[in-house]
Amino acid sequence: MLTRHYLLLLPALLLSACSLNTPVPDSAIVPPTHWSTQATNAQWPQRDWWQQYKSPSLEDLLARAEAGNLDLASATSRLRQANAQLRQARASLLPQVSASAEANRNGDTNSTAYSAGLNTRYELDFWGRNQAVTDSARASLLASEFDIQTLAISIQASVVSNWLQILENAQRLDLARDSLNNAERVLQLVETRYRFGADDSLAVSQQRTLVAQLRASLPGLEQQRLQLRNSMALLLGQAPDTPLPKARHLADINIPVVGAGLPAELINRRPDILASEARLIAANADLTAARAALFPSVTLTGQFGAQSAALAALLSNPATGWTLVAGLTQSIFDGGALRAQVALSQARQEDLLIDYRRTLLTALGEADTALGAVVRARQAYQFLELATTEARRAFDLAEIRYRAGSSDLQSLLDTQRTLYQSQDTLTQQRAVRLLASVDLFRALGGGWRMQEVYGSNGLR
């Protein structure tokens, strides 16, 4: 009679279990059809995007960062934790088996009795709770994997950016020292003219002022160099005194041409978007598990035992027995804890849906902004190149005329300052142009792409 009742209950349980599946909510965000700024080409970056800068030093630095960066090591540790949690969740889908053995000595009869048994317990996952817990752990593991990819892209971009700033600083230091040497050379000329009565003391003071100003610019640039070197050492996971490659001129670094595909394709190109989506899927599975916990749990337990006076005959002893029990457990009063868990899981799902939308919109905005920055940085650099060429010509002419006595010192001073400022600004703008390309590479996902689709219940 009991078996008949279970057979009648089973179809209802299975039908109810199907109804507990919680659909993943739609993101309700439609990416734009095109970028605000026209991309140079429609090709997405390659995974080794940094090779476009044609700097062997970057290859060395990136390899050292991959091996020694502490943030990356921490993320790898969190990935191992998520992997262990997934294995733990999968265990709930399998039967639990335990063994026991006893030996009892009776002093009155001077006899020993041996017994052994196997116990098994298996929860029938009618409502899909255990499967939902496993799905949540699997999605969390994927989120951790995507987090590592996101962090790796960020570290790569940081190393490249930091190295470019080191090169910029080195070139600005060289420029400041060259300008100082040039100003000191002119100062010697002014002082010579002053001694022969061709110039007055005002001209000497003006040129000495310029020399002092140029000398004052050096300590700030040297301190910046120290900060940049220490930042690079931290990215490499090494001490501040770690040796770095010899700095080349920023002008030797190739300016890459970065392409971008369609905005809608960015969803599969940025792992931070996929990590946010995976967390939403995990929260959705948690909500399913919380709802399933409101229903009764069905458990099968089995026992097999044997007893014998002789240890060798324990397993062959006919004095064995077994039992198989099916149990149904339903919480009657829990103070509303289970329903509160459902409400909590539902609120977390809503929160992560908002986070997914924010992540997607942020990524689209970053890529669109970075693409426009690359174009405008190139335009500004072209104008500054022309300005620097003219400033060089003006200074050369002013110096020739001053030596010939056909021009005053003030004209020479003005052209000196203008030339130095133009050269320094041009160096900084070249760095801005290179750093804009790094930002664009990062915003486009750094050439990363998902090789496999990890499920059929995604948001897309």
354-372 per-position pLDDT tens digit = 899 999 999 999 999 999 9
Phi, psi of 297 (to 5 degrees): -105, 140
Token pair of 211 as six digits: 């020399």
Least Cα distance to 446 among 351, 363, 331 occurs for 363
Say how many C-beta atoms besides its own lie within 10 A of residue 248's C-beta.
15
Residue 401 CA to residue 405 CA, distance in Å, equals 6
Structural domain boundaries enclosing 311:
20-443
Is 229 within the bounds of a domain? yes
**pLDDT in the model for residue 347:** 86
pLDDT at residue 459 above 50?
Answer: no
Strand partners, 329: 297
Token pair of 1 as six digits: 């009679």
Identity of the residue numbered 421 = Q
pLDDT at residue 297 above 50?
Answer: yes
Least Cα distance to 391 among 165, 180, 179, 167 occurs for 179
**pLDDT in the model for residue 458:** 39
**pLDDT in the model for residue 252:** 87
Residue 362 CA to residue 74 CA, distance in Å, equals 25
Token pair of 6 as six digits: 């279970």
**pLDDT in the model for residue 161:** 94
Say how many C-beta atoms besides its own lie within 10 A of residue 259's C-beta.
15
**pLDDT in the model for residue 443:** 94
Say how many C-beta atoms besides its own lie within 10 A of residue 358's C-beta.
12
Strand partners, 114: 103, 308
| Close Cβ partners of 363 (under 8 Å, ≥ 6 residues apart) | 266, 270, 272, 273, 443
**pLDDT in the model for residue 439:** 95
Phi, psi of 106 (to 5 degrees): -100, 115
pLDDT in tens, 225-245: 999 999 999 999 999 989 999
Burial class (CB in 10 A: 0-12, 13-18, 19+), 207: buried
**pLDDT in the model for residue 3:** 40
8 A C-beta contact, residue 116 and residue 314: yes
Least Cα distance to 53 among 259, 251, 261 occurs for 251
Average pLDDT over residues 114-125: 64
Read off the CATH number of the domain in which 143 is found.
Answer: 1.20.1600.10
Instruction: Please give the tally of structural domains in the chain.
Output: 1
| Close Cβ partners of 232 (under 8 Å, ≥ 6 residues apart) | 61, 159, 162, 163, 166, 244
8 A C-beta contact, residue 303 and residue 322: yes
Tokens 């005194």: give the residue. Answer: 241
Is 1 within the bounds of a domain? no
Is 122 within the bounds of a domain? yes
pLDDT in tens, 9-25: 444 444 444 446 677 77
**pLDDT in the model for residue 53:** 93
8 A C-beta contact, residue 416 and residue 397: no
pLDDT at residue 7 above 90?
Answer: no
Phi, psi of 123 (to 5 degrees): -90, 120
**pLDDT in the model for residue 107:** 64
Is 12 within the bounds of a domain? no
Is 317 within the bounds of a domain? yes
pLDDT in tens, 166-201: 999 999 999 999 989 988 988 898 888 888 887 788
pLDDT in tens, 80-93: 886 777 677 666 55
pTM: 0.78
Is 10 within the bounds of a domain? no
Is 8 within the bounds of a domain? no
Residues 403/409/412/416 CA torsion (nearest 10 deg): 120
pLDDT at residue 397 above 90?
Answer: yes
